[in-house]
Structure 1
Amino acid sequence: MIDKFLEEFAKLLVDNPAGVRVERSDVDGTFCEVVIYADKIDTGKLIGKDGKMINSLKTLISGCKAKDGISYRVTVKANDE
């Protein structure tokens, strides 16, 4: 659920939505890491000025912890193409 939301939201923000993909990896039963891959020029849009965009996404996602009890780490990386 979280990974699909982040993928759709990221596609709305970037110039090249076809280059966006999201990978989710469960570390254990209470922790999950979500990585958003985007083109190199679009990573700045996802991070935002002074990290405000990614911090607001992290705050929004942390609200899901109350529902399912899983902590999430959200990271933005550039595609290696």
Structure 2
Amino acid sequence: MSETIDAGFIEQVVKMLVDNPDAVKVERKVDEMGVLISLDVDPKDMGIVIGREGQTAKALRTLLRVIGAKNNARVNLKINEPEGSERAMRNQASATPEKKSIDDVVGEIEKM
């Protein structure tokens, strides 16, 4: 496989997605397990790269798998979490809003 096709591809795609493309760093390692692409981005861009429920990261991994299959190699993507970043706990991030009855909602609207 050409040394830089997979790494160059992922670097270009991620740079087009993020707000700070200068902070994108891609490192490629080859071992007996295959190719590992390590991706570093600005902490503010992590949400963009991962996407809602991880869908963007999953899509990037799928595209790399296709490139690897075409070149008879196993390619994996590791997205490195930036130092000092803090993630909200899953239950805090997806807290459900307070449920109200129809009468309460109608009462609030009438007060407006």
TM-score, normalised with respect to structure 2: 0.65
Q: Which residue of 2 aligns with 1:22?
A: 26
Q: Which residue of 2 aligns with 1:2?
A: 6
- Structure 1 residue identity aligned to 2:11: E
Give 1:69 deviation, angstroms.
1.2
Richer in strand (by share): 1
The alignment's C-alpha RMSD in Å is: 1.6
Count of matched residue pairs = 80
Deviations 1:37-60 (A, max 9, x none): 101111111010100001011111
Deviant stretches of 4+, over 2 Å: 78-81
2:50 to 47, 69, 76: 47
TM-score, normalised with respect to structure 1: 0.88
Q: List runs of 5+ in structure 1 lacking aligned partners.
A: none
Identity of aligned residues (%): 29
Q: 2: distance between equivalents of 1:6 and 1:40? A: 18
Q: List runs of 5+ in structure 2 lacking aligned partners.
A: 85-112
Q: Which residue of 1 aligns with 2:60?
A: 57
Q: 2: distance between equivalents of 1:25 and 1:42? A: 23
Give 1:80 deviation, angstroms.
4.6
- Structure 1 residue identity aligned to 2:9: F
Give 1:79 deviation, angstroms.
4.4
Give 1:32 deviation, angstroms.
0.8
CA contact (8 A) 1:2 1:61 kept: yes
- Structure 2 residue identity aligned to 1:35: S
